[in-house]
Amino acid sequence: MPMQYIVMPLVILFGITWQYLSQTTPSFNFAQAAPWHLSWPETHEWSSAAILLVLPQLALTLTNAVIAISAMAKDTFPEDSEKFTPQAFAKSSGWANLLMAPFGGGAMCHGAGGLTVQYHFGARTWIAPAIFGTSCLLIAAFWGQGIATVLSLIPLAVLGSLLAIAGTQLAWSKRFIDGKPFCIFVIFTTALACLAINTAVGLAVGVVLELGRHQWQTLSAPKN
């Protein structure tokens, strides 16, 4: 069994134990959950959600949960690449949000980071997400709000380490090795725009540069 499968759970367990024994302030606090009830958003909630949540999040969702996840899934599982289209991920995210909203579900989407980290730690089939989903359902049904107390004991440094692993995996691309110079230029310019300004600008810069690259390649191709 690869060492990382053992080390990371032990690191998390050690962090929780250390935080508990040292009796330090929890890393973060969870508000008490409101009683569950079936509902549908009010008219004014649609407009406020669109302005406060959808528009600011749209660029990040498109890049991370539609475009990036599609490209990564195709590279990771090339034998099933036809299934992993951006349209498929957009549809499944949309249906999940529509169906879960009346039950009080929060906004959800596919995450490139989740795929990266789970694959890095050994997930290869549907069994991994099935175990994860079943565990979450059992915890919610039989533990409820008590799990919030345990989760709040995970030190932020441990969470930061996990995010660093995901970020490193996401940042690296085989295109850095086998990509053409202009492709690498598009990648780095898009990344810099995201870091320097925001994701929306980075997305726009990347799209414009890629369209320009494709147009230039088409015009410069030899004609028969």
User: Which tens digit of pLDDT belongs to each residue from 63-119?
Assistant: 888 988 898 889 888 898 889 999 999 999 999 888 888 877 777 888 787 887 788
Residue range 154-170: average pLDDT? 73
Confidence of residue 147 (pLDDT cuts 50, 70, 90): confident
pLDDT at 86: 92
Instruction: In whole angstroms, give the CA distance from residue 210 to residue 208.
Output: 6
With vertex at residue 222, the alpha carbon angle to CA 219 and CA 224, rounded to the nearest 5 degrees, is 120
Q: Which pLDDT belongs to residue 61?
A: 85
More confident site: 88 or 161: 88
The per-residue pLDDT for 88 is: 92
pTM: 0.66
CA distance 137 to 91: 24
- Please tell me the predicted confidence (pLDDT) of residue 183: 78
pLDDT at 33: 58
What integer pLDDT is reported at residue 146 of this predicted model? 74
Can you give the pLDDT at residue 110?
A: 84
Q: How far apart are CA 71 and CA 86, in angstroms?
A: 8
Residues ≥6 apart with Cβ < 8 Å to 8: 121, 162
Q: How many CA atoms lie within 13 A of 58 on its CB side?
A: 10
| Alpha-carbon gap, residue 64 to 107, rounded angstroms | 14
Nearest CA to 75 out of 114, 116, 134, 14 is that of: 116
Instruction: In whole angstroms, give the CA distance from residue 184 to residue 203.
Output: 15
Please answer whether residues 199 and 63 qualify as being in contact, where contact means their C-beta atoms are separated by less than 8 angstroms.
yes
Tell me the mean pLDDT in the region 38-45.
Answer: 78
Q: Which residue has the higher pLDDT, 9 or 143?
A: 143
Residue 90: CB atoms within 10 A of its CB come to: 18
Task: Count CA within 13 A, CB hemisphere, residue 47.
Answer: 2
Mean pLDDT, range 113-133, rounded to an integer: 84
- What confidence score (pLDDT) does residue 23 get? 67
Q: What is the pLDDT of residue 207?
A: 87
Give the residue, 22 or 132, on which the prediction is more confident. Answer: 132
pLDDT at 12 over 80: no
- Is the per-residue pLDDT at 21 higher than 80? no
86: left (phi over 0), alpha (psi -120 to 50) or beta: alpha
The mean per-residue pLDDT over the stretch 184-193 comes to: 85
Q: What is the mean pLDDT of the chain?
A: 79
pLDDT at 52: 80
Q: Which pLDDT score, from 0 to 100, does residue 87 have?
A: 93
- Inter-CA distances, 81 with 23, 44, 67, 110, Å: 49, 41, 13, 16
pLDDT grade for 179, boundaries at 50, 70 and 90 = low
Return the pLDDT at 190. Answer: 86
